[in-house]
Amino acid sequence: MTTQPTLRRDVVVFGASAGGLQALRQIVERLPRDLPASILVAVHLSPTAPSRLPRMLQDAGSLPAVAAHDGQRVLPSTIHTVVPDRHLLVTEGDRLLLSRGPRENRVRPSVDKSFRSVARWCGPRAIGVMLSGTLDDGASGFASIARCGGVPLVQSPEEARFDGMPRAALAAVPGATALPVAQLAKTITELAGQEVAPLVDGLDEDLIWETDMAERGGSGADQAGDPVGLGCPECGGGMNRVRAVGSTHYVCHAGHSYAPQTLLAAKEEGIESALWTALSALQEKSMVLFDLAHRAAEAGDEAGRRGHEAAAARAAHAVDLLREQILLEDDSALGA
């Protein structure tokens, strides 16, 4: 009889955005050098500026920190960080993949994509940790880690500099453990290396499709979710709603994906852009009509002058109304 290899919790993946680096440094400085686990760090980075994240984390504690390399096998007791404009994914055999696949929640690297890849390929070996950040990026991927048997940990929202991502994670996984950073470090140290049982249930088809799309831009599985009457803010393609216990997100056929709050923010930006475009077009219409009225007056065409001036006045009035509405929407968004 073949003996199955012992599974242990040996992969820790962090997700963070605004305010998360401070929390991450505080955790890293408390982790032991011989931590029996690999660490992946998925945070939002500028797509063009060089990342100083490995040096920052290297200086914070005793664990070595390196920028992830494509095809590299994850190393124990080592921190692997995202690089600009690439998703950090784990693939079969615990190898890293730096993907320039579709953005998720308008960003690349994406916390969700890192979490989902770890959920698929590491399952109960994983410890997922959500730190400070705005909106709800990472919540659905965080839920995938929990569904695949991993341990879900969250920075206490009351302690987080920005509580959007921690609260969204707790809404998606109500059973997740919320702790201050000092306790998170202690809990990770205690959990790392513990023996775990293999995942009994099979993987969700939705998870397979989304991780396939992130890895190679295509999948033999059916597209995740069910069709909804929404267009993708990124490419205009039709979107599907992907539902799971505690979480919902939207994905298009190309693989762009949005959490609900981030989708709303993207739609609002599109609406504002369209309104300003309409305002500009009305202003130009008014200018042309006034010019036509002036030409008609020079030609002695009194009826034409009056008609063009009236139409120009209506366009100018529409400009004033539209500008007022845009400014009112801005005040509402600011809570005025």
Catalytically annotated residues:
17, 44, 137
Measured CA distances, 147 to 118, 263, 329 (Å): 12, 24, 39
Measured CA distances, 75 to 35, 37, 38, 78, 86 (Å): 11, 8, 6, 6, 20
Contact, 132 vs 163, CB < 8 A?
yes
From the number of C-beta atoms within 10 Å of its C-beta (0-12, 13-18, 19+), residue 51 rates as middle
Give strand pairing partners of 241.
Answer: 226, 250
CA angle (66, 70, 72) in 5-degree steps: 65
Measured CA distances, 146 to 118, 154, 166, 311 (Å): 11, 12, 15, 62
Contact, 65 vs 82, CB < 8 A?
no
Q: Write out the two tokens for 153.
A: 């940990």
Provide the phi-psi class of 77: left if phi over 0, else alpha when psi is between -120 and 50, else beta.
left
Give strand pairing partners of 98.
Answer: 88
From the number of C-beta atoms within 10 Å of its C-beta (0-12, 13-18, 19+), residue 22 rates as middle
CA–CA dist 70, 95 (Å, integer): 8
CA angle (165, 192, 158) in 5-degree steps: 30
3-state helix, strand, coil in the chain (%, to 5): 45, 20, 35
- As a whole number of Å, the CA-based R_g of the chain is 26
